[in-house]
Protein backbone atom coordinates (compact mmCIF):
# COMPACT_ATOMS: atom_id res chain seq x y z
CA UNK A 1 0.00 0.00 0.00
CA UNK A 2 1.38 3.40 -1.02
CA UNK A 3 1.73 6.38 1.30
CA UNK A 4 -1.17 8.32 -0.29
CA UNK A 5 -3.54 5.34 0.13
CA UNK A 6 -2.59 5.01 3.80
CA UNK A 7 -3.26 8.74 4.36
CA UNK A 8 -6.68 8.50 2.65
CA UNK A 9 -7.59 5.44 4.78
CA UNK A 10 -6.55 7.19 8.00
CA UNK A 11 -8.57 10.29 7.08
CA UNK A 12 -11.69 8.21 6.36
CA UNK A 13 -11.31 6.36 9.65
CA UNK A 14 -10.95 9.60 11.60
CA UNK A 15 -14.07 11.04 9.94
CA UNK A 16 -16.09 7.95 10.86
CA UNK A 17 -14.97 8.19 14.48
CA UNK A 18 -15.93 11.87 14.64
CA UNK A 19 -19.42 11.16 13.27
CA UNK A 20 -19.91 8.33 15.80
CA UNK A 21 -18.82 10.61 18.65
CA UNK A 22 -21.25 13.33 17.54
CA UNK A 23 -24.10 10.81 17.40
CA UNK A 24 -23.34 9.54 20.93
CA UNK A 25 -23.13 13.11 22.24
CA UNK A 26 -26.49 13.98 20.66
CA UNK A 27 -28.11 10.91 22.22
CA UNK A 28 -26.70 11.82 25.62
CA UNK A 29 -27.99 15.41 25.30
CA UNK A 30 -31.44 14.19 24.36
CA UNK A 31 -31.44 12.01 27.44
CA UNK A 32 -30.74 14.93 29.74
CA UNK A 33 -27.02 15.49 29.13
CA UNK A 34 -26.00 13.75 32.35
CA UNK A 35 -23.06 11.31 32.42
CA UNK A 36 -20.71 10.15 29.69
CA UNK A 37 -22.01 8.43 26.53
CA UNK A 38 -22.06 4.57 26.81
CA UNK A 39 -20.58 2.93 23.71
CA UNK A 40 -21.76 -0.56 24.82
CA UNK A 41 -24.74 -1.71 22.82
CA UNK A 42 -27.57 -3.34 24.84
CA UNK A 43 -29.58 -6.19 23.28
CA UNK A 44 -33.31 -5.72 23.07
CA UNK A 45 -35.84 -8.39 24.09
CA UNK A 46 -36.29 -9.74 20.56
CA UNK A 47 -32.55 -10.30 20.16
CA UNK A 48 -32.33 -11.99 23.58
CA UNK A 49 -35.20 -14.35 22.64
CA UNK A 50 -33.50 -15.15 19.35
CA UNK A 51 -30.22 -15.93 21.13
CA UNK A 52 -31.89 -18.24 23.64
CA UNK A 53 -33.98 -19.99 21.01
CA UNK A 54 -37.46 -18.59 21.85
CA UNK A 55 -39.92 -16.85 19.59
CA UNK A 56 -41.66 -13.57 20.40
CA UNK A 57 -44.74 -15.38 21.73
CA UNK A 58 -42.79 -17.06 24.51
CA UNK A 59 -42.66 -20.50 22.90
CA UNK A 60 -39.67 -22.33 21.55
CA UNK A 61 -38.73 -21.67 17.96
CA UNK A 62 -36.73 -24.72 16.88
CA UNK A 63 -35.92 -23.16 13.52
CA UNK A 64 -33.64 -20.64 15.24
CA UNK A 65 -30.04 -21.36 16.21
CA UNK A 66 -29.66 -20.36 19.85
CA UNK A 67 -27.63 -21.43 22.86
CA UNK A 68 -29.90 -24.44 23.24
CA UNK A 69 -28.97 -25.63 19.76
CA UNK A 70 -25.27 -24.97 20.42
CA UNK A 71 -25.43 -27.23 23.47
CA UNK A 72 -27.44 -29.94 21.71
CA UNK A 73 -25.12 -29.90 18.68
CA UNK A 74 -22.34 -31.49 20.74
CA UNK A 75 -24.46 -34.42 21.88
CA UNK A 76 -21.97 -37.23 21.56
CA UNK A 77 -18.33 -37.12 20.59
CA UNK A 78 -18.34 -40.39 18.64
CA UNK A 79 -15.44 -42.53 19.73
CA UNK A 80 -14.30 -44.61 16.81
CA UNK A 81 -14.14 -48.29 17.70
CA UNK A 82 -12.63 -50.11 14.71
CA UNK A 83 -13.02 -53.57 16.19
CA UNK A 84 -16.73 -52.99 16.89
CA UNK A 85 -17.32 -52.45 13.19
CA UNK A 86 -15.63 -55.79 12.49
CA UNK A 87 -17.81 -57.45 15.12
CA UNK A 88 -21.00 -56.19 13.45
CA UNK A 89 -19.71 -57.21 10.01
CA UNK A 90 -19.19 -60.69 11.40
CA UNK A 91 -22.69 -60.55 12.90
CA UNK A 92 -24.15 -59.87 9.46
CA UNK A 93 -22.37 -62.88 7.97
CA UNK A 94 -23.51 -65.15 10.79
CA UNK A 95 -27.11 -63.93 10.68
CA UNK A 96 -27.29 -64.47 6.92
CA UNK A 97 -26.78 -68.17 7.54
CA UNK A 98 -28.76 -68.65 10.74
CA UNK A 99 -31.80 -66.67 9.58
CA UNK A 100 -31.80 -68.60 6.32
CA UNK A 101 -32.02 -71.81 8.34
CA UNK A 102 -34.52 -70.23 10.74
CA UNK A 103 -36.98 -69.05 8.07
CA UNK A 104 -36.19 -71.57 5.29
CA UNK A 105 -36.14 -68.59 2.96
CA UNK A 106 -33.56 -66.52 1.13
CA UNK A 107 -32.42 -63.80 3.55
CA UNK A 108 -30.27 -60.79 2.76
CA UNK A 109 -28.89 -58.64 5.58
CA UNK A 110 -27.05 -55.34 5.31
CA UNK A 111 -25.91 -52.68 7.76
CA UNK A 112 -27.44 -49.32 6.90
CA UNK A 113 -25.47 -47.26 9.39
CA UNK A 114 -23.56 -47.26 12.67
CA UNK A 115 -23.87 -44.14 14.76
CA UNK A 116 -23.46 -42.84 18.29
CA UNK A 117 -26.18 -40.84 20.01
CA UNK A 118 -27.85 -40.14 23.32
CA UNK A 119 -29.97 -42.98 24.68
CA UNK A 120 -32.92 -40.65 25.32
CA UNK A 121 -32.83 -39.28 21.78
CA UNK A 122 -32.80 -42.80 20.39
CA UNK A 123 -35.86 -43.83 22.42
CA UNK A 124 -37.73 -40.78 21.12
CA UNK A 125 -36.80 -41.64 17.53
CA UNK A 126 -38.10 -45.24 17.56
CA UNK A 127 -41.02 -45.53 15.11
CA UNK A 128 -43.97 -47.15 16.85
CA UNK A 129 -45.39 -49.76 16.90
CA UNK A 130 -42.27 -51.83 17.51
CA UNK A 131 -40.92 -54.48 19.86
CA UNK A 132 -37.98 -53.72 22.13
CA UNK A 133 -36.02 -56.70 23.44
CA UNK A 134 -33.87 -56.05 26.52
CA UNK A 135 -30.93 -58.43 26.92
CA UNK A 136 -28.21 -58.73 29.53
CA UNK A 137 -24.48 -59.19 28.98
CA UNK A 138 -23.62 -61.50 31.85
CA UNK A 139 -19.82 -61.10 31.94
CA UNK A 140 -20.05 -57.31 31.43
CA UNK A 141 -22.86 -56.92 34.00
CA UNK A 142 -24.92 -54.54 31.88
CA UNK A 143 -27.73 -54.41 29.33
CA UNK A 144 -28.35 -53.89 25.62
CA UNK A 145 -31.37 -53.34 23.40
CA UNK A 146 -32.67 -54.87 20.16
CA UNK A 147 -35.49 -53.05 18.36
CA UNK A 148 -37.61 -54.86 15.74
CA UNK A 149 -39.89 -52.65 13.68
CA UNK A 150 -43.46 -53.61 12.78
CA UNK A 151 -42.64 -54.46 9.15
CA UNK A 152 -40.09 -57.08 10.22
CA UNK A 153 -42.44 -58.43 12.90
CA UNK A 154 -45.25 -59.13 10.45
CA UNK A 155 -42.78 -60.44 7.87
CA UNK A 156 -41.31 -62.96 10.32
CA UNK A 157 -44.78 -64.05 11.46
CA UNK A 158 -45.87 -64.46 7.85
CA UNK A 159 -42.79 -66.49 6.91
CA UNK A 160 -42.82 -68.76 9.95
CA UNK A 161 -46.55 -69.47 9.63
CA UNK A 162 -46.31 -70.44 5.96
CA UNK A 163 -47.22 -67.26 4.11
CA UNK A 164 -46.93 -67.32 0.34
CA UNK A 165 -43.91 -65.76 -1.32
CA UNK A 166 -44.25 -62.67 -3.42
CA UNK A 167 -46.99 -61.15 -1.24
CA UNK A 168 -46.40 -58.37 1.23
CA UNK A 169 -47.13 -59.14 4.87
CA UNK A 170 -50.54 -57.93 6.02
CA UNK A 171 -50.24 -55.20 8.64
CA UNK A 172 -53.13 -54.60 11.01
CA UNK A 173 -53.07 -51.28 12.83
CA UNK A 174 -54.74 -50.33 16.07
CA UNK A 175 -54.32 -53.55 18.04
CA UNK A 176 -51.66 -54.89 20.41
CA UNK A 177 -49.36 -57.72 19.43
CA UNK A 178 -50.72 -61.19 20.09
CA UNK A 179 -49.06 -63.92 22.12
CA UNK A 180 -48.16 -65.83 18.96
CA UNK A 181 -46.47 -62.77 17.47
CA UNK A 182 -44.54 -62.08 20.66
CA UNK A 183 -43.43 -65.72 20.89
CA UNK A 184 -42.18 -65.79 17.30
CA UNK A 185 -40.33 -62.50 17.77
CA UNK A 186 -38.70 -63.90 20.93
CA UNK A 187 -37.42 -66.83 18.87
CA UNK A 188 -36.00 -64.36 16.36
CA UNK A 189 -34.33 -62.41 19.18
CA UNK A 190 -32.81 -65.63 20.52
CA UNK A 191 -31.25 -66.33 17.12
CA UNK A 192 -29.86 -62.79 16.89
CA UNK A 193 -28.40 -62.93 20.42
CA UNK A 194 -26.72 -66.24 19.66
CA UNK A 195 -25.08 -64.74 16.57
CA UNK A 196 -24.09 -61.60 18.48
CA UNK A 197 -22.43 -63.75 21.13
CA UNK A 198 -20.56 -65.69 18.44
CA UNK A 199 -19.51 -62.41 16.80
CA UNK A 200 -17.88 -61.23 20.04
CA UNK A 201 -16.34 -64.64 20.77
CA UNK A 202 -12.94 -64.05 19.08
CA UNK A 203 -12.62 -60.77 20.98
CA UNK A 204 -14.06 -61.56 24.39
CA UNK A 205 -16.20 -64.33 25.81
CA UNK A 206 -19.62 -62.97 26.76
CA UNK A 207 -23.09 -64.47 27.17
CA UNK A 208 -26.11 -62.46 26.04
CA UNK A 209 -29.27 -63.54 27.85
CA UNK A 210 -32.75 -62.44 26.80
CA UNK A 211 -34.40 -60.51 29.65
CA UNK A 212 -37.80 -59.18 28.54
CA UNK A 213 -39.82 -57.89 25.61
CA UNK A 214 -41.42 -54.44 25.69
CA UNK A 215 -43.65 -52.46 23.33
CA UNK A 216 -43.37 -49.13 25.18
CA UNK A 217 -39.95 -47.42 24.97
CA UNK A 218 -40.41 -45.96 28.46
CA UNK A 219 -40.25 -49.48 29.93
CA UNK A 220 -37.02 -50.28 28.07
CA UNK A 221 -34.87 -47.68 29.83
CA UNK A 222 -31.63 -49.61 30.37
CA UNK A 223 -29.45 -46.52 30.80
CA UNK A 224 -29.64 -42.85 31.69
CA UNK A 225 -31.27 -40.78 28.98
CA UNK A 226 -28.17 -38.59 28.65
CA UNK A 227 -25.71 -41.50 28.32
CA UNK A 228 -24.11 -42.27 24.97
CA UNK A 229 -24.75 -45.49 23.05
CA UNK A 230 -23.72 -47.15 19.80
CA UNK A 231 -26.57 -48.01 17.42
CA UNK A 232 -26.22 -50.44 14.49
CA UNK A 233 -29.13 -50.30 12.03
CA UNK A 234 -29.59 -53.40 9.86
CA UNK A 235 -31.95 -54.12 6.99
CA UNK A 236 -33.32 -57.68 6.62
CA UNK A 237 -34.88 -58.68 3.29
CA UNK A 238 -36.77 -61.95 2.66
CA UNK A 239 -37.90 -61.95 -0.97
CA UNK A 240 -40.48 -59.14 -1.09
CA UNK A 241 -40.79 -58.97 2.70
CA UNK A 242 -38.53 -57.59 5.36
CA UNK A 243 -37.89 -54.77 7.77
CA UNK A 244 -35.36 -53.16 10.07
CA UNK A 245 -33.58 -54.48 13.14
CA UNK A 246 -31.49 -52.21 15.35
CA UNK A 247 -28.95 -53.20 18.02
CA UNK A 248 -28.10 -50.66 20.72
CA UNK A 249 -25.15 -51.07 23.08
CA UNK A 250 -24.50 -48.33 25.65
CA UNK A 251 -20.88 -47.26 26.09
CA UNK A 252 -21.18 -48.37 29.72
CA UNK A 253 -21.88 -51.91 28.49
CA UNK A 254 -18.81 -51.87 26.22
CA UNK A 255 -16.52 -50.36 28.85
CA UNK A 256 -15.01 -53.74 30.01
CA UNK A 257 -13.79 -54.42 26.45
CA UNK A 258 -13.15 -50.85 25.32
CA UNK A 259 -9.39 -51.41 25.05
CA UNK A 260 -10.00 -54.43 22.83
CA UNK A 261 -12.46 -52.53 20.64
CA UNK A 262 -9.88 -49.79 20.05
CA UNK A 263 -7.62 -52.24 18.23
CA UNK A 264 -7.14 -51.90 14.49
CA UNK A 265 -7.01 -55.67 13.99
CA UNK A 266 -7.62 -58.82 15.99
CA UNK A 267 -4.93 -59.62 18.55
CA UNK A 268 -3.31 -56.20 18.58
CA UNK A 269 -1.61 -55.23 21.84
CA UNK A 270 -0.80 -51.64 22.72
CA UNK A 271 2.61 -51.05 24.33
CA UNK A 272 3.39 -54.77 24.67
CA UNK A 273 5.39 -57.26 22.64
CA UNK A 274 4.25 -60.84 23.18
CA UNK A 275 7.40 -62.26 21.52
CA UNK A 276 9.70 -60.58 24.02
CA UNK A 277 7.39 -61.49 26.90
CA UNK A 278 7.55 -65.16 25.94
CA UNK A 279 11.32 -65.05 25.48
CA UNK A 280 11.86 -63.35 28.83
CA UNK A 281 9.61 -65.87 30.60
CA UNK A 282 11.54 -68.80 29.10
CA UNK A 283 14.89 -67.32 30.10
CA UNK A 284 13.67 -66.68 33.65
CA UNK A 285 12.57 -70.30 33.98
CA UNK A 286 16.08 -71.44 33.02
CA UNK A 287 17.82 -69.12 35.50
CA UNK A 288 19.91 -70.93 38.12
CA UNK A 289 19.31 -69.99 41.76
CA UNK A 290 21.06 -71.15 44.91
CA UNK A 291 18.90 -73.24 47.26
CA UNK A 292 20.18 -73.44 50.85
CA UNK A 293 19.19 -76.11 53.38
CA UNK A 294 19.16 -74.66 56.89
CA UNK A 295 20.02 -77.48 59.29
CA UNK A 296 20.18 -75.43 62.47
CA UNK A 297 20.41 -71.89 63.80
CA UNK A 298 22.31 -70.97 66.94
CA UNK A 299 22.87 -67.75 68.83
CA UNK A 300 26.43 -67.34 70.13
CA UNK A 301 28.16 -64.50 71.96
CA UNK A 302 30.48 -62.42 69.86
CA UNK A 303 33.42 -63.30 72.12
CA UNK A 304 32.87 -67.01 71.47
CA UNK A 305 32.72 -66.42 67.73
CA UNK A 306 35.98 -64.49 67.85
CA UNK A 307 37.65 -67.34 69.78
CA UNK A 308 36.77 -69.99 67.17
CA UNK A 309 39.84 -71.74 65.75
CA UNK A 310 40.53 -74.32 63.10
CA UNK A 311 39.42 -77.71 64.42
CA UNK A 312 36.66 -76.44 66.72
CA UNK A 313 33.31 -78.17 66.35
CA UNK A 314 29.79 -76.70 66.36
CA UNK A 315 27.17 -79.30 67.18
CA UNK A 316 23.97 -79.04 65.10
CA UNK A 317 20.71 -80.07 66.70
CA UNK A 318 19.40 -81.70 63.50
CA UNK A 319 19.41 -85.49 63.72
CA UNK A 320 18.18 -87.63 60.87
CA UNK A 321 14.44 -87.18 60.33
CA UNK A 322 14.29 -83.68 61.80
CA UNK A 323 12.48 -80.91 59.86
CA UNK A 324 14.64 -78.42 57.98
CA UNK A 325 14.03 -75.33 55.84
CA UNK A 326 14.95 -74.77 52.21
CA UNK A 327 15.64 -71.13 51.43
CA UNK A 328 16.64 -68.96 48.52
CA UNK A 329 18.44 -66.08 50.11
CA UNK A 330 16.26 -64.91 52.99
CA UNK A 331 13.00 -66.28 51.51
CA UNK A 332 11.74 -69.63 52.78
CA UNK A 333 10.54 -71.76 49.88
CA UNK A 334 10.02 -75.29 51.22
CA UNK A 335 10.03 -77.35 54.37
CA UNK A 336 11.62 -80.80 54.27
CA UNK A 337 12.91 -83.71 56.31
CA UNK A 338 16.59 -84.50 56.71
CA UNK A 339 17.79 -87.98 55.78
CA UNK A 340 20.54 -89.95 54.07
CA UNK A 341 20.78 -91.54 50.64
CA UNK A 342 23.84 -93.50 49.43
CA UNK A 343 26.24 -92.06 52.01
CA UNK A 344 25.02 -88.54 51.31
CA UNK A 345 22.81 -86.21 53.28
CA UNK A 346 19.46 -85.69 51.56
CA UNK A 347 16.34 -83.64 52.15
CA UNK A 348 12.83 -84.77 51.25
CA UNK A 349 10.38 -81.90 50.64
CA UNK A 350 7.36 -82.26 52.88
CA UNK A 351 5.50 -78.98 52.35
CA UNK A 352 5.24 -76.90 49.20
CA UNK A 353 6.16 -73.29 48.93
CA UNK A 354 3.78 -70.66 50.35
CA UNK A 355 1.60 -68.53 48.02
CA UNK A 356 3.36 -66.04 45.75
CA UNK A 357 1.83 -63.09 47.61
CA UNK A 358 3.22 -64.38 50.89
CA UNK A 359 6.66 -64.93 49.35
CA UNK A 360 6.63 -61.39 47.97
CA UNK A 361 5.64 -60.01 51.35
CA UNK A 362 8.44 -61.92 53.08
CA UNK A 363 10.94 -60.74 50.47
CA UNK A 364 9.78 -57.16 50.94
CA UNK A 365 10.17 -57.37 54.70
CA UNK A 366 13.61 -58.88 54.39
CA UNK A 367 14.62 -56.15 51.92
CA UNK A 368 13.34 -53.47 54.24
242: nearest Cα among 360, 153, 332, 113: 153
Domain range list for the chain: 40-74, 82-261, 288-367
pLDDT in tens, 85-110: 888 999 999 999 999 888 888 888 98
Q: Mean of the pLDDT values across residues 160-175?
A: 67
DSSP state string for 145-193: EEEEEHHHHHHHHHHHTTPPTTSPPP---SSPPPHHHHHHHHHHHHHHH
Residues forming a β-bridge with 92: none
Q: Are 171 and 151 in contact (CB under 8 A)?
A: yes
Domains 82-261 and 288-367 share a fold: no
Q: Is the pLDDT of residue 122 over 50?
A: yes
pLDDT at 176: 82
Can you list the positions of beta strands (E) in 206-284? 208-214, 228-238, 241-250
18, 100, 232, 366 from 200: Cα distances, Å: 73, 21, 15, 47
176: nearest Cα among 130, 134, 135: 130
CATH number among 2.90.10.10, 2.30.330.10, 2.60.40.10, 1.20.1560.10, domain 288-367: 2.30.330.10
Q: Are 119 and 227 in contact (CB under 8 A)?
A: yes
Q: Is the pLDDT of residue 221 over 90?
A: no
pLDDT at 32: 46
**What is the pTM for the complete model shown?**
0.54
pLDDT at 307: 87
Q: Is the pLDDT of residue 143 over 90?
A: yes
Three-state DSSP at 72 gives helix
Cα 278 to Cα 265: distance, rounded to the nearest angstrom: 21
More confident residue, 79 or 146: 146
Cα 35 to Cα 79: distance, rounded to the nearest angstrom: 56
pLDDT at 335: 81
Q: What mean pLDDT is reported for the chain?
A: 77
pLDDT in tens, 236-278: 988 778 889 999 999 888 888 888 888 776 544 445 566 778 8
| Crossing angle (nearest 10°) for helices 150-160 and 82-103 | 40
> What phi, psi does 252 have (nearest 5°)?
-65, -35
CATH number among 3.40.190.10, 3.30.43.10, 3.40.1550.10, 3.40.50.720, domain 82-261: 3.40.1550.10
Residue 164 burial (10 A CB sphere; 0-12, 13-18, 19+): exposed
pLDDT at 210: 92
Q: Are 139 and 209 in contact (CB under 8 A)?
A: no
Q: Is the pLDDT of residue 339 over 60?
A: yes
> What phi, psi does 199 have (nearest 5°)?
-70, -35
Three-state DSSP at 267 gives coil
Sign of the C-alpha dihedral, residues 146, 150, 153, 156? negative
pLDDT in tens, 176-194: 888 888 999 999 999 999 9
Q: Is the pLDDT of residue 21 over 70?
A: no
Binning pLDDT at 50, 70 and 90, where does residue 328 land?
confident
Counting every residue written for the chain, the total comes to: 368
Amino acid sequence: MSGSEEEDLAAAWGAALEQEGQGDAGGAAAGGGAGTPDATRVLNQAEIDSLLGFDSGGGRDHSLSGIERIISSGLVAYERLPMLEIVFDRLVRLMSTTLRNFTSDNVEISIDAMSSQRFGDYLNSIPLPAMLAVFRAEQWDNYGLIVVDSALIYSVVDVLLGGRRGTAAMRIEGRPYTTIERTLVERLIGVVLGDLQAAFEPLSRVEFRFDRLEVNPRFAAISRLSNAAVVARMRIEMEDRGGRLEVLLPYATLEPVRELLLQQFMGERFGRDSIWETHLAEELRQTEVALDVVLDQQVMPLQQVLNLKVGDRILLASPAGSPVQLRCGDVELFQGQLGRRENRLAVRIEKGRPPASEVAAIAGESGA
